[in-house]
């Protein structure tokens, strides 16, 4: 088991392509959190994010015969996941049920504070931050989630979104400026 776990994503994907289910399971274990939180960032709904992230893995497995090791596994998986999330949002919009709950932000404080006043203030901030992120343009929202909430490096974001590193930097700048504008009362 540990031998499989120590393999690179691409080696695991090739093994999964050869029918080794255990290799695919290791990939799922490696990326399930990224998948879930990215989907959450896209759709803002816990249950839908869980379902979409799992469905993305199922589709990835079904399409594994088309996988080529020239691409990073996660880049390939991300494409399937983001397409699924966009379709989900489109369906919600079409059904005129596009309502992301702003009552309950999906964030929690990164550090525990004992001062109740500070906690209350932070909770309000958390709610407003989520509201602001939700209302960003999809490509801005996407890059904010990848950088701020999943800690991907510029190089990794560049590979995932298939854009040059310079574009990652400029898109992040514009996304942050827009976010700052939406939070102007707080910042």
Closer residue to another protein, CB minimum distance, 69 or 169? 169
- Residue 138, SS3 per DSSP: helix
DSSP state of 47: H
Burial tier of 10 (Cβ tally within 10 Å: 0-12, 13-18, 19+): middle
Pick the closer one to another protein by CB: 100 or 183.
183
Structure tokens at 131: 């509201």
Give me the least distance between CB of 13 and another protein, in Å please.
Answer: 15
Among residues 83 and 101, whose Cβ is nearest to another protein?
A: 83
Block residue for tokens 């992120």: 133
Q: Which of 39, 38, 57, 58 is nearest to 49 (CA)?
A: 39
Binding site for another protein (CB under 8 A): 21, 25, 28-29, 32-33, 36-37, 40-41, 46, 50, 54-55, 57-59, 61-63, 79-80, 83-84, 86-88, 106-111, 122, 125-126, 129, 144, 147-149, 153-154, 166, 169-170, 172-173, 176-177, 179-180, 183, 186-187
Please give the structure tokens belonging to residue 56.
Answer: 């993305």
CA distances from 6 to 19, 20, 24, 108, 139 (A): 18, 15, 13, 32, 33
Nearest residue (CB) to another protein, 36 versus 73:
36
Residue 108 CB, shortest distance to another protein, in Å, is 5
In angstroms, what is the minimal distance from the CB of 58 to another protein? Answer: 5
Asked if 58 and 35 touch (Cβ cutoff 8 Å), the reply is no
Cβ-based burial of 3 (10 A; exposed 0-12, middle 13-18, buried ≥19): exposed
Residue among 102 and 109 whose Cβ is closer to another protein:
109
What's the closest the beta carbon of residue 15 comes to another protein, in angstroms?
Answer: 16
CB of 176 to another protein, least distance (A): 6
């Amino acid at each position: 088991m540990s031998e499989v776990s120590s393999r690179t994503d691409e080696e695991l994907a090739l093994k999964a392509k050869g029918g080794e289910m255990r290799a695919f399971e290791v990939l799922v274990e490696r990326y399930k959190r990224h998948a879930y939180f990215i989907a959450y960032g896209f759709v803002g709904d816990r249950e839908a994010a869980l379902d979409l992230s799992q469905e993305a893995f199922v589709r990835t497995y079904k399409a594994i015969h088309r996988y080529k090791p020239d691409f990073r596994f996660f880049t390939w998986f991300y494409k399937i996941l983001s397409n699924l999330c966009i379709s989900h949002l489109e369906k919600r919009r079409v059904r005129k049920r596009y309502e992301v709950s702003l009552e309950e932000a999906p964030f929690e404080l990164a550090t525990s504070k004992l001062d109740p006043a500070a906690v209350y203030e932070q909770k309000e901030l958390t709610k407003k931050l989520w509201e602001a992120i939700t209302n960003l343009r999809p490509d801005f929202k996407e890059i904010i989630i990848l950088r701020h909430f999943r800690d991907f490096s510029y190089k990794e974001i560049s590979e995932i979104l298939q854009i040059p590193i310079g574009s990652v930097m400029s898109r992040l700048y514009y996304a942050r400026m827009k976010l700052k504008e939406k939070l102007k009362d707080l910042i």
